[in-house]
């Protein structure tokens, strides 16, 4: 199995489309950091204006941590697209290239081949999120320095001491990886249906957009649906910046997200095992 | 003999919606055969081969490879099998060596030895291109690389679906020679599908013909063609006397002069009796030639079948 995963990783990272995600974040994050360095202070001052009427605030609240959290907030719309570029290509790409005929005539079960591809997809997803963490924290802390984190999440404002930052960001990025694994699993599932990688990317994004709209629109008739949509739980990483951390909510969200991953994998498994290779 | 059957399909069938692409195919391939699988385009050759290689799930019937059921013992069944279906496709963005490693590791369960890869690539004349990306290869080179990766794991059975498709005459000749060499030198069984009749006629020892999804016939190439031959060209002299003698024979139909010889309709098993009769009558027989080629035989069975189902095609071992 390790050998299978090794070659799947090799194949994935030998394709240039794999690097599109890294290139995008490699350009975008430094741009955001540069822009924040130039104008971040003004933005922060504007946001703090009303707070300063009621609170006496000292120290540097606009720092690398704040910036990294802002980047996390803003990137989760684009990251699913970057993930589905690769996850949607895992099975459909082999069908397009005709290479299923090369690998599926071998004495290896389809289940093992599928699992090696799935694990590769999860590893790629984790590596992309890790790259976001590395870039945003690395550049942010280097250029804007460290300090306490002013976390504004919906209608709650929290100031978290600097000493807790590494732990909290580690939890946040860990939860973000799980959240993105659901996206990857969905794209992987769509990839098993078709023989062209464009379809899974579009289908994944369509599902995410529809689910996000249902999740975020304050419409009563959508309320019964919300507990069943994975998008309801994808912001679980924000729990890492609450005081205190609500572990039971995190556990519930993780269970639902992991359940979605398992469900998408199971359907993919059934589809792939029965799939006729006609291309 | 039964233990020498390494590929056996039992009432194999594939249905797409309401249409049977392949129906009730019962194939038997013996160890050491170069088995030609003939059929017009769209006859069901590729579908049958894909079912044998587990690329397509059969709707009916079963496939047994080396005594193992493909459905339930897939890994054992395919352990000694290599196949190239239609055209060999590769990871074009990887080098030939990397492609060989990927294909080899799936069969061997470990990364194949670089020396073994170099040897296989050398065998098909790609030794010097080992580190080039496959996207720079011509179609013929990819075909040869396909054969190299199939040979890497030293299979006992190699399945080649239309292996000469798209090759120039020299390439086709090389592939044919390689097929024969693999059978003779390495003792491999070769399952070769083709719509090129002369290709099968030149290399195959046994064959099957499929038409409109149904197996029409299978058996020994020589026997199938020879036993069904009716048009015989005899070089018997003097011609006039020989013609007169043949016209009196009940075994001979429509004897006609053909250049210096005589053509006639004679059932293959009756040829020795006809020749003996001519000799007894004082004629000298310098040669007997069966005029019918595999092409004529193929056309006769596929046209006469007209696609009608034939569940128990005649078989000669």
For residue B106, the distance in angstroms to the closest alpha carbon of chain A comes to 6
- Which conformational region is residue B146 in: left (phi greater than 0), alpha (psi within -120 to 50 degrees), or beta? alpha
Q: Is the pLDDT of residue A53 over 70?
A: no
Q: Are A278 and B56 inside 8 Å of each other by CB?
A: yes
**A113: closest chain B residue by CA:** B106
ipTM for the predicted complex comes to 0.71
According to DSSP H, which parts of B54-113 are helical? Answer: 74-77, 96-108
- pLDDT confidence of residue A125: 94
Q: Is the pLDDT of residue B11 over 80?
A: yes
3-state class of A261 per DSSP?
helix
Nearest neighbour of B91 by CB, restricted to A11, A105, A108? A11
Distance CA B34, CA B194 (A): 12
In chain A, which residues have their Cβ closer than 8 Å to the Cβ of B93? 14-16
Q: How much is the mean pLDDT over chain A?
A: 85
User: What tokens does A200 get?
Assistant: 């899974």
Lowest mean pLDDT among A206-210, B216-220, B227-231, B298-302: B227-231
Mean pLDDT, residues A63-81 taken together: 81
Taking residue A28's Cβ as centre, other Cβ atoms within 10 Å add up to: 17
Taking residue B132's Cβ as centre, other Cβ atoms within 10 Å add up to: 14
Task: Return the axis-axis angle of helices A165-193 and A247-274, rounded to nearest 10°.
Answer: 20
- Best A13, A102, A195, A270 member to test B by mutation, with max B CBs in 10 Å, is A102
pLDDT digits (tens, 9 = 90+) for B258-310: 777 787 878 777 888 889 999 999 999 988 877 656 666 677 667 655 444 34
Report which secondary-structure segment, H or E, holds B142: helix B139-151
Distance CA B177, CA B102 (A): 27
Going by the DSSP 8-state scheme, the letter that residue A240 receives in this structure is G
Which candidate, B230, B229, B228, places its Cα nearest to that of B265?
B230
Distance CA B1, CA A275 (A): 35
Q: Are A102 and B149 inside 8 Å of each other by CB?
A: yes
Contact B70, A110 (CB under 8 A): no
- Let me know if B175 is exposed, middle or buried by CB neighbors in 10 A (0-12, 13-18, 19+): buried
Q: What are the residues of chain B with a beta carbon less than 8 Å away from any beta carbon of chain A?
A: 50, 53-57, 74-79, 81-94, 98-99, 101-103, 105-107, 109-111, 149
- Let me know if B68 is exposed, middle or buried by CB neighbors in 10 A (0-12, 13-18, 19+): middle
pTM: 0.78
Which candidate, A12, A9, A33, places its Cα nearest to that of A21?
A12
Taking residue B185's Cβ as centre, other Cβ atoms within 10 Å add up to: 8
Lowest mean pLDDT among A228-232, B10-14, B169-173: B169-173
- pLDDT confidence of residue B307: 43
In whole angstroms, how far apart are CA B186 and each of A26, B6, B154, B235? 54, 16, 9, 41
pLDDT digits (tens, 9 = 90+) for A76-97: 778 888 999 899 998 988 888 8
User: What tokens does A101 get?
Assistant: 């005929």
Q: Where are the beta strands (DSSP E) in chain A?
A: 149-153, 156-160
**Residue A218, preceding bond cis, omega within 30 degrees?**
no
Question: B210: which residues sit within 8 A by CB, 6+ positions away?
Answer: B22, B25, B37, B38, B39, B43, B44, B45, B48, B216
In chain A, which residues have their Cβ closer than 8 Å to the Cβ of B152? none
User: What tokens does A135 get?
Assistant: 């870039």
For residue A9, the distance in angstroms to the closest alpha carbon of chain B comes to 11
């Amino acid at each position: 199995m390790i050998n299978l995963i090794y070659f799947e990783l090799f194949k994935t990272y030998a394709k240039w489309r794999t690097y599109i995600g890294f290139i995008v974040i490699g350009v975008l994050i430094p741009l955001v950091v540069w822009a924040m360095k130039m104008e971040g202070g003004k933005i922060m001052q504007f946001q703090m204006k009303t707070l300063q009427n009621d609170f006496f605030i000292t120290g540097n609240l606009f720092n690398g941590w704040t910036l990294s959290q802002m980047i996390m907030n803003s990137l989760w719309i684009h990251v699913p697209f970057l993930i589905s570029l690769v996850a949607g290509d895992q099975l459909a790409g082999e069908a397009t290239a005709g290479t299923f005929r090369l690998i599926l005539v071998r004495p290896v079960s389809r289940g093992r081949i599928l699992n090696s591809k799935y694990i590769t997809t999860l590893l790629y997803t984790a590596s992309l999120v890790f790259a976001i963490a590395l870039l945003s924290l690395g550049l942010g802390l280097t250029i804007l320095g460290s300090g306490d984190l002013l976390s504004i999440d919906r209608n709650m404002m929290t100031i978290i001491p600097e000493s807790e930052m590494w732990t909290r960001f580690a939890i946040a990025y860990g939860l973000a990886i799980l959240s993105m694994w659901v996206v990857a699993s969905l794209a992987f599932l769509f990839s098993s249906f078709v023989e062209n990688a464009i379809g899974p990317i579009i289908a994944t994004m369509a599902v995410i957009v529809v689910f996000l709209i249902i999740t975020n629109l304050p419409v009563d008739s959508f309320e019964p649906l919300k507990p069943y949509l994975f998008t309801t739980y994808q912001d679980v990483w924000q729990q890492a910046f609450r005081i205190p951390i609500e572990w039971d909510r995190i556990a519930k969200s993780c269970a639902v997200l992991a359940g979605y991953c398992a469900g998408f994998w199971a359907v993919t498994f059934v589809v792939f095992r029965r799939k006729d290779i006609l291309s | 003999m039964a233990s020498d059957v390494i590929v056996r399909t039992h009432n194999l069938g594939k249905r797409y919606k309401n249409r049977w692409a392949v129906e009730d195919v019962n194939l038997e391939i013996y160890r050491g055969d170069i088995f030609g699988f003939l059929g017009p385009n769209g006859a069901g050759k590729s579908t049958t081969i894909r079912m044998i290689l587990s690329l397509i799930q059969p709707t009916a019937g079963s496939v047994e490879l080396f005594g193992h059921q493909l459905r339930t013992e897939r890994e054992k069944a395919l352990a000694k099998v290599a196949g190239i279906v239609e055209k060999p496709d590769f990871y074009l963005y990887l080098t030939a060596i990397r492609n060989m490693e990927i294909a080899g590791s799936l069969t061997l369960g470990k990364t194949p030895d670089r020396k073994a890869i170099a040897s296989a690539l050398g065998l098909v004349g790609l030794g010097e291109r080992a580190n080039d990306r496959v996207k720079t290869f011509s179609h013929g080179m990819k075909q040869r690389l396909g054969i190299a990766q199939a040979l890497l794991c030293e299979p006992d059975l190699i399945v080649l679906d239309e292996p000469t498709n798209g090759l120039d005459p020299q390439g086709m000749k090389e592939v044919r020679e390689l097929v024969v060499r693999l059978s003779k030198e390495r003792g491999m069984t070769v399952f070769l599908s083709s719509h090129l009749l002369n290709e099968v006629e030149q290399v195959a020892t046994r064959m099957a013909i499929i038409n409109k999804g149904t197996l029409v016939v299978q058996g020994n190439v020589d026997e199938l063609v020879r036993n069904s031959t009716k048009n015989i060209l005899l070089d018997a002299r003097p011609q006039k006397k020989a013609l007169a003698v043949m016209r009196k024979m009940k075994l001979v139909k429509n004897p006609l002069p053909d250049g210096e010889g005589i053509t006639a309709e004679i059932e293959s098993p009756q040829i020795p009796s006809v020749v003996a009769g001519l000799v007894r009558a004082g004629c000298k027989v310098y040669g007997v030639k069966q005029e019918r080629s595999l092409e004529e035989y193929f056309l006769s069975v596929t046209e006469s079948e007209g696609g009608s189902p034939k569940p128990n095609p005649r078989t000669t071992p």
